[in-house]
């Protein structure tokens, strides 16, 4: 097992502080564990600039799409109990998806459609279902924005929102392309239907309580409200637009405050992006995945999840959407990206490392080859604002001996 050069590890704190000093991040923390042993931790900056409250290890943050691996694990826990198979159409669970249509090639209107197959659970897990996000380009993304189809805390119930998704056509026939989407939110509803529990209750009973993740929930725990971070954006316009960032005069414009946030009382439980939690809680989840399931899920099932499920890398699937990771040299498993070629991904790492991030610029990766679990927390939307993720990977890899 590779070791670490302490001097090189110390570069991480200097790098983090530079982001704070230049008002790119308000506050941040990094946790590096190897073989189950903590080898590095650092935090700096503020969790709330107005209050002057420091970012600390027990700060509670929005993890957004780092919720997706948790929901994917929940689906696979049910699958390995023989309750369904991954080629099952989602309409077996949510009848609103029974009669599907997709946009015609080159469609300029949401009405220009042709009949198509219903997405399978596997296509939902791998973002090849034809679903999309409102911030993605194209006809479907625009329709989702217009109809406010967002799995966010102050919207409809999970069941109602899934029915709204099903009423729109798909961006393409299932299996044809890769497009980042609300598919994992739909799978969260499948977990509820199959288990007979709310998504959060399933998470608590089957994942959080067994792992001791006591401060990871869809609502900020009452005991943690004084540790909940504010969320910021550098965008002059909509914070949830992705791609080129239009930086305004205030690079840390308050987007979601710690005292008046949808996460203090959410209406919906978003399996695609609704969890909040601490960095140590998320380490417990990463270590469960890295070490073979901790008795919650089978090691063979986890190995299956953390391998590439696409025919090539994401870029070969013709995406036009945003993603939380590079598309070249990166495949996609169930719940996260899989590094296929570090050279093509233009970031150092081990072939087979598994990673994903969240809209507020959080990030994690698990490297089975070097027994690493690395987690980065901050609160800045969108995650495309700065190249913090490849920079952090380079810093950690550069410190290994």
pLDDT at 154 over 70: no
Paired tokens of 401: 């001996």
Same domain, 235 and 366: yes
Same domain, 250 and 271: yes
Same domain, 373 and 230: yes
Phi, psi (deg, nearest 5) at residue 19: -70, -35
Helices (H), 248-350: 279-291, 299-305, 342-345
How far apart are alpha carbons 105 and 103 in whole angstroms?
Answer: 6
- Tens-place pLDDT, residues 69-90: 999 999 999 999 999 999 999 9
The answer for 355, left when phi > 0, alpha when psi is -120 to 50, beta otherwise, is beta
pLDDT at 153 over 90: no
What torsion do the CA atoms of 47, 384, 339, 118 make, to the nearest 10 degrees?
110
> 197 near 156, Cβ under 8 Å?
no
Domain boundary among 195, 228, 262: 195
- Tens-place pLDDT, residues 45-62: 999 999 999 999 999 999
Q: Which residues contact 187 (CB under 8 A, 6 or more apart)?
A: 71, 72, 75, 121, 124, 125, 271
- For residue 1, is it within any domain? no
Q: Rounded to whole angstroms, what are the CA distances from 184 to 335, 355, 381, 389?
A: 8, 16, 20, 23
> 266 near 274, Cβ under 8 Å?
yes
- For residue 373, is it within any domain? yes
- For residue 278, is it within any domain? yes
Same domain, 289 and 380: yes
Domain boundary among 162, 195, 228: 195
CATH at 107: 3.40.710.10
Same domain, 65 and 87: no
Total of domains in the chain: 2
pTM of the model: 0.96
Q: Give me the pLDDT at residue 325, please.
A: 79
- Tens-place pLDDT, residues 188-247: 999 999 999 999 999 999 999 999 999 999 999 999 999 999 999 998 876 666 555 667
Helix (H) / strand (E) element for 61: namely strand 61-62
Higher pLDDT, 236 or 9: 9
Same domain, 222 and 272: yes
What is the domain range of residue 154?
76-195
Give the count of beta carbons closer than 10 Å to the beta carbon of residue 19. 21
Same domain, 315 and 242: yes
Q: Give me the pLDDT at residue 318, please.
A: 82
Paired tokens of 173: 């026939």
């Amino acid at each position: 097992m590779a070791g670490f050069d302490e001097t090189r590890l110390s570069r991480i704190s200097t790098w983090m502080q530079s982001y704070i000093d230049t008002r790119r991040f308000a506050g941040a923390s990094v946790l590096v564990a190897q073989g189950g042993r903590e080898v590095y931790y650092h935090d700096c900056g503020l969790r709330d600039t107005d209050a002057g409250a420091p970012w600390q290890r027990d700060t509670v943050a929005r993890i957004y799409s780092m919720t997706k691996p948790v929901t994917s694990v929940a689906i696979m826990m049910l699958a390995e109990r023989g309750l369904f198979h991954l080629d099952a159409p989602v309409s077996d669970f949510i009848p609103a998806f029974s009669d599907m249509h997709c946009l015609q090639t080159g469609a300029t209107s949401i009405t220009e459609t042709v009949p198509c197959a219903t997405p399978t659970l596997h296509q939902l897990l791998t973002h090849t279902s034809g679903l999309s996000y409102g911030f993605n380009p194209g006809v479907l993304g625009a329709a989702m924005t217009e109809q406010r189809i967002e799995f966010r805390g102050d919207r409809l119930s999970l069941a109602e929102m899934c029915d709204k998704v099903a009423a729109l056509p798909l961006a393409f026939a299932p299996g044809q392309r890769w497009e980042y989407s609300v598919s994992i939110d739909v799978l969260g509803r499948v977990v509820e239907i199959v288990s007979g529990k709310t998504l959060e209750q399933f998470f608590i009973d089957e994942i959080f309580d067994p792992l001791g993740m006591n401060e990871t929930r869809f609502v900020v725990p009452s005991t943690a409200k004084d540790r909940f971070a504010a969320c910021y954006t550098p965008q002059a316009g909509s914070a949830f637009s992705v791609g080129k960032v239009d930086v305004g005069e205030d690079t840390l414009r308050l987007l979601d405050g710690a005292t008046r946030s949808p996460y203090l009382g959410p209406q919906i439980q978003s399996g695609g992006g609704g969890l909040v939690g601490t960095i140590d809680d998320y380490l417990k989840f990463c270590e469960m995945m890295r070490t073979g399931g901790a008795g919650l899920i089978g090691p063979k099932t986890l190995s299956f999840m953390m391998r590439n499920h696409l025919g090539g890398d994401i870029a070969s699937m013709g995406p036009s959407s945003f993603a939380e990771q590079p598309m070249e040299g990166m495949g996609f498993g169930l719940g996260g990206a899989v590094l296929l070629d570090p050279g093509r991904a233009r970031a150092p790492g081990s072939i087979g490392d598994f990673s994903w991030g969240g809209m507020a610029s959080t990030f994690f990766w698990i490297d089975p080859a070097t027994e690493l679990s690395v987690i980065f927390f901050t609160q800045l939307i969108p995650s495309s604002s700065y190249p913090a993720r490849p920079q952090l990977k380079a810093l950690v890899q550069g410190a290994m001996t």
